[in-house]
Structure 1
Amino acid sequence: MNRLQGKTAIVTGASTGIGAAIAKELAVEGANVALAARRLDKLNEVKNEITEIRNSKGKVMAFQADMSNKNDVNQLAEKVQGELGNVDIFVNNAGQMLTGTVRSGQVEEWEKMVDVNIKGVLYGIDAVLPSMLSRSTGHLINVASVSGLEVTKTSTVYSATKYAVRAISMGLEKELARTGVRITNISPGMVDTDLQGNGTWNDRKMLEAADIAKAVVYAVTQPDYVNVNEVTVRPV
């Protein structure tokens, strides 16, 4: 449908799962898409898949970046702007879901989740927001989780990081009012990805990664005066 023709999007964590699906949907809508993740080989596979999509009209490029490294994130934004133009859509999708509970004392796992899920989100926003503000346009997408709404006995630290993502989104809603820059927080339920398992959960069919991607496209294709702040997507 090419509703995003001429727009440029960065999708982090784009090498697999939800990130790859979001990148594909944005490309189908005509956007230029920059794929970012740590594994360049996987990114190139996604890039080739997008290139083969007939109705993908925009450009697609792959950039190796560790979202927990501020220099990597800044360089990513600079390279994309140089190659594809101003960043119109930034999708903060990169994340770590590890099993480190508080009582386990798995400090290294806590730190990984904090570094990617919280610091990485902030680094990404910081890298693209000044340009968006100067142009009075742009859209930030933060991919949180229903774990940011509910906590289980095995998700304490992960849930804490996703609560933080929602808090960042809620605060930016207010900071960015009347600036022309929009922000959307997407909270997926159980999605059938490598992270989660084999397609069923509590006898329910898991969501597909494409379901989350469609929610992103819905948010970013609204009229400029419409800001979809919060979307929660759960299995039936």
Structure 2
Amino acid sequence: MNKLQGKTAIVTGASTGIGATIAKELALEGANVALAARRLDKLNEVKSEITDITNGEVKVMSVQVDMSNREDVNQLAEKAQAELGDVDIFVNNAGQMLAGTVRSGKVEEWDKMVDVNIKGVLYGIDAVLPSMLSRSTGHLINVASVSGLEVTKTSTVYSATKHAVRAISMGLEKELARTGVRMTNISPGMVDTDLVGNGAWNDRKMLETKDIAKAVVYAVTQPDYVNVNEVTVRPV
């Protein structure tokens, strides 16, 4: 603990799965954490868990947010700054993984994925980046997917959104060069969460949520002059 002492982090999609574990690991390193998601009851459960595992040594807050709503996202940043201080780390983890074929014609599901996976990421960055630039410090983390590297016949639209997240990350890394603000893209392989199943996939053990959280902690605890741009985490 203490590598992130005094830092403030926002984690979106923090009510369950990867996001909840990222928030816990950041808190264990001493960061104050704003938990963001749509389900306030689940956020409060994670908040209680963090308070317990850190013995109340870090500040934690829950904010109900729809990442596809720009005003919601702006209010998230404002509330976190007011209660916890300047935002040092922003983890864009919220995402939708729905039926992704084009032939399905499920336009409403496409819209949800585009709105959360792409627009939500951009809204989150926009809400915190001006302050980071003014202070010449900060770290943006985009959680993409190996589906942004590879496309299957059932993942067309989902993969397209995750390709977009990687493109945003790659472009921002160049935009932010020499500003003091760092940009990291994390691409998880198959992780054992409620979304995907029971711990086994194609005869391989799935990744655990902590495996992704540890990658985030690795990136944000590097020296200020080190920018870890891209991390891909796959099961063996």
Q: Specify the TM-score bucket, using the shorter chain as the normaliser.
A: over 0.9
Aligned to 2:148: 148
Gaps of 5+ in 1: none
Q: Distance in 2 between matches of 1:188 and 1:28?
A: 21
**Counterpart-to-counterpart distance in 2, 1:122 and 1:17:** 22
Over 3 Å counting, the alpha-carbon distance change for 1:178 and 1:56 in structure 2 is farther
Q: Could you tell me whether the CA contact under 8 Å between 2:27 and 2:54 is conserved in 1?
A: no
The alignment status of 1:20 with 2:31, answered yes or no, reads no
* Cα distance per residue 1:142-177 (max 9 Å; x no partner): 000000000000000000000000000000010000
What is the alpha-carbon root mean square deviation over aligned residues?
Answer: 0.7
1:223 aligned partner: 223
Structure 2 stretches of 5 or more lacking a match? none
Partner deviation per Cα, 1:40-80 (whole Å, 9 max, x = no partner): 00000000011100466311110000000000000000011
**What residue is the counterpart of 1:189 in the other structure?**
189
Distance across 2 between alignment mates of 1:15 and 1:79: 18
| Residue 101 of structure 1: how far off its partner (Å) | 1.0
What is the percentage of aligned positions where both structures have the same residue?
Answer: 89
TM-score relative to the length of structure 1: 0.99
In the TM superposition, 1:1-236 aligns within 5 A as 1-54=1-54, 57-236=57-236
Cα deviation code 1:88-116 (max 9, x no counterpart): 00000000000131001000000000000
The count of residues paired between Structure 1 and Structure 2 equals: 236
The one-letter code matched in structure 2 to 1:185 is: N
Range that drifts further, 53-62 or 75-84:
53-62
Aligned residues of 1:2 and 1:57 also touching (Cα < 8 A): no
Bigger drift between 52-61 and 62-71 goes to 52-61
Distance 1:106 1:20 in 2: 29
Cα displacement (A) at 1:25: 0.1
1:77–1:128: 8 Å Cα contact kept in structure 2?
yes
SS at match of 1:46: helix
Q: TM-score w.r.t. structure 2 length? A: 0.99
* In structure 2, distance between residues paired with 1:157 and 1:100: 5
- Classify the secondary structure of the residue corresponding to 1:83: helix
Residue 99 of structure 2: SS of its match in structure 1? coil
Q: CA deviation at 1:135?
A: 0.1
Residue identity opposite 1:25 in structure 2: E
Alpha-carbon contact 2:144-2:162 (below 8 Å) kept: yes
